[in-house]
Amino acid sequence: MSSYQRSCLIRGDGGRAIRGILDRIGDKWTLLVVATLDGDRMRFTELQRRIPGISQRMLTRTLRHLERDGLVEREVFAEVPPRVEYSLTDTGATLIGPAVTLAEWAIEQNPTIERSQGEYDARRGGRD
């Protein structure tokens, strides 16, 4: 795909679709939840235990957003007490590859980015 084609793809609707999706998956917790669910079904407490620092409120909110977006499935079992398990949908599973690619890029480029930030800050005297 040419750079022109990529540019048209990104700007096709003024970037609205891309911004909406990136807002969702680019938050602090979404990719961690998705990665934790990769290939597994988990109960809420297990998910919370595996994601250090996430509050009950934020996990609940993130799971609800992912369920609404069709990336996570919530299954309730008719037991006493009720058991609820979460898993990735087929669509949610397609996010794993791009997320891993982005994570690898971030790890690979981090030293260069930190060096650039340091040089920029030194030139600007720490001002934004």
Look up residue 95 and give its two tokens: 């996010």
The mean predicted confidence, pLDDT, of the chain is 89
Residue 19 included in any domain: no
pLDDT by residue (tens digit) across 38-95? 999 999 999 999 999 999 999 999 999 999 999 999 999 998 888 999 999 999 999 9
Q: How many domains does the chain have?
A: 1
Preceding omega of 81 cis (within 30 degrees of 0): yes
Residue 38 included in any domain: yes
Confidence of residue 128 (pLDDT cuts 50, 70, 90): low
* Identity of the residue numbered 2: S
Q: What is the pLDDT of residue 89?
A: 97
Q: What is the pLDDT of residue 4?
A: 60
Residue 16 included in any domain: no
Residue 89 included in any domain: yes
Instruction: Report percent pLDDT > 70 for the chain.
Output: 88
Confidence of residue 26 (pLDDT cuts 50, 70, 90): confident
Residue 18 included in any domain: no
Q: Tell me the CATH number at 88.
A: 1.10.10.10
Q: Which domain holds residue 70?
A: 25-124
SS3 74: strand
Q: How many CB atoms lie within 10 A of CB 62?
A: 22
Lowest mean pLDDT among 6-15, 28-37, 85-94, 105-114: 6-15
Q: What is the pLDDT of residue 125?
A: 79
Q: What is the pLDDT of residue 18?
A: 80
Per-residue pLDDT, averaged over 32-37, amounts to 94
Q: How many CB atoms lie within 10 A of CB 71?
A: 23
pTM value is: 0.77
* Statement: residue 5 has pLDDT above 90: no
